[in-house]
Chains A and B, each alone.
Chain A
Amino acid sequence: MTLLPWRHTGKETSGRSSLFEDLALPLLPALYNVAYWLTRNATDAEDLVQETLLKSLRGFEGFEADSNFKAWIFRILRNTYLTSRSGLAARRTVALEEELDEGGKLGPGAYPEAAIDRETPELNLIRLADRATLQSAMEKLPPPLLEIVLLCDVEELKYKEIASILEVPIGTVMSRLARARAHLRKSLEGNTFTREFHA
């Protein structure tokens, strides 16, 4: 029996939606975790994930089957976050030189030395093992550096995929990652970075 055209289309749409659910629903925990880190708020995180899902479903027709769905949906999450209220607020609170200088720690041109080898490797290892200390260090990361740590270390995405999510060259991914890890080491070494990341 030949299906009427509208029925045929309906079935295809339904199959496509089902495929979308199969791909998207397993990623919910990861999407929510990253959304919470970015928004710092359970309600905003949930709204962000919901909006991401709806946008992705609407745009799923344009998704190419042989491309990376995880990278694709994380890109939508990030773009949705950047245009959200909390995303815009976070971008405004990027640390400024004056804020760093308030405590008299740094002045223009007075850059810190490379952030390694300040203390014994043993002490660093002990600090790295402390989950709460690491979470606190991650909270202090500026948003562009936090998101790259989340995508690389937590979501285990490749540099190429991260570059496509952030819409930057791979070189920028590498340099931001190096900066992020230098920040983390510095925080773990006990340097007093007074900046706070406000949601």
Chain B
Amino acid sequence: MSDHLSSATWNALVDGELIAEELASVTEHLHSCPGCTSHALEQSLLKTGTARAGQRYALPDDMRQRMEHLLAVQDSPSHVTEGSEAAIRPAVQRPASIRRTEWLGWAMAAMVLVLGAGLTFVRRNDSRVHAAGVERAALVTEVSDQHFATLAANLPPQVLSSDRHTVKPWFQGKIPFSFNLPEGLSEDTKLEGANLAYLHNRPVAQLLYSIGKHRVSVFVEEKTAGSGLGFPMEEHLGFRLVTFHTNELNVVAISDVAPGKLTELMNLFERAQVD
């Protein structure tokens, strides 16, 4: 039975994503397996059905014309020439009174230069802070997205076990680092399993816990240069994210559970890494 095609293969088959060798192998299997043939047919019907059902909303009659007009207006010469005319007008029509006070303009230009030099220094620092902010926001979004997708999908974890000695070894060969799972969890906290996930296009461990009825995702990633998660706790769309780092790992947890409970789990996690 383990020879049956996986759902990923059925999907790739109906989506036309199999390469020639894979397709030949799958076709050969389908010839001899009525069960998989039935599933593949069902998958194919689901795809054509959603393709048909998804074509639901027709473009309003006049919208195409309005959009064409909008693009034409954006492209009209007035849009281009207005700016250029404005740029050359002062040079052509310079009144005599302005010439008399020309020195004032030069003085202001000098002041702007001095200010500009000062601002460059400040901006250099600001851009570093800004880059860190952007990186942090991207991480928060990516972690949240992964967590929401897990909640929304409501499928079993890839490794479904509450035993840390089962969950941890499952990652061997799947991620290029190792980590410890905490023991001595509080009574309402339970390890539900784990998934192999991706953050920043790198494989990470997504450990799934429940605290009461709340679900928690703990992402463990390898620490690389510049991948430090620079916030201890942050809120995003009503969820809280808590992080800590070791010399080799970045760990971030996300949940809507009470902050104290989430911090308690993360403290246990952090202690487990040094044990």
Contact = CB atoms under 8 A, between A and B. Distances in A.
Interface of A: 6, 10, 13-14, 17, 20-21, 24-25, 28-29, 32-33, 36-37, 42, 45-46, 49-50, 53-54, 57, 91-92, 94-98, 100-101, 106-109, 111-112, 116, 121, 124-125, 128-129, 131, 134-135, 138, 142, 144-145, 149-150, 152-154, 156, 158-159, 168-169, 171-172, 174, 176-179, 181-185
B130 interface: no
A179 B11 contact: no
A153 B47 contact: yes
Interface in B55-105: 55-60, 63-64, 67-68, 70-71, 74-75, 77, 80, 84
Contact of A14 (B75, B213, B215): B75
Given A131-B53, A142-B149, 8 more contacts: A91-B148, A108-B213, A111-B160, A134-B50, A158-B15, A159-B15, A181-B43, A184-B46
27 contacts: A13-B80, A21-B68, A28-B64, A29-B58, A49-B63, A50-B70, A53-B71, A57-B75, A91-B148, A95-B152, A95-B154, A96-B256, A97-B215, A106-B154, A108-B215, A109-B210, A111-B155, A111-B157, A112-B155, A142-B148, A142-B152, A145-B149, A145-B153, A153-B54, A156-B51, A174-B12, A183-B153
Interface string B150-181: 01111111001010000000000000000000
Contacts of A152: 15
Contacts of A100: 154
B7 interface: yes
A95 B17 CA distance: 30
B257 to A, nearest CB: 11
B57 A33 contact: yes
B221 interface: no
Interface string B12-24: 1001110000000
A100 B52 CA distance: 29
A134 B67 contact: no
Contacts, number: 179
A97 B75 CA distance: 50
Of the listed residues A106, A152, A184, the one surrounded by the most CB atoms of chain B closer than 10 A to its CB is A152
Given A97-B215, A177-B11, A181-B46, A57 B54 contact: no
A101 B212 CA distance: 12
A169 B198 contact: yes
B39 interface: yes
B71 A17 contact: yes
B215 A176 contact: no
Given A29-B58, A53-B67, A92-B237, A138 B53 contact: yes
Contacts of A181: 7, 11, 43, 46
A96 B198 CA distance: 22
Contacts of A94: 148, 151-152
A137 to B, nearest CB: 8
Given A179-B149, A182-B155, A131 B52 contact: yes
B145 interface: yes
A108 B210 contact: yes
A124 B153 contact: no
B70 A53 contact: yes
B45 A32 contact: no
Contacts of A14: 75
B75 A37 contact: no
Nearest to A159: B17
Contact of A37 (B57, B60, B201): B57
B23 to A, nearest CB: 15
A125 B46 CA distance: 9
A185 B45 CA distance: 11
A41 B16 CA distance: 32
Residue of A20, A46, A108 with most chain B CB atoms under a 10 A cut-off: A108
Nearest to A152: B15
B265 to A, nearest CB: 14
B46 A37 contact: no
Contacts of B7: 178, 181-182
Contacts of A32: 57-60, 63
A109 B74 CA distance: 55
B260 interface: no
Given A94-B151, A145-B152, A50 B84 contact: no
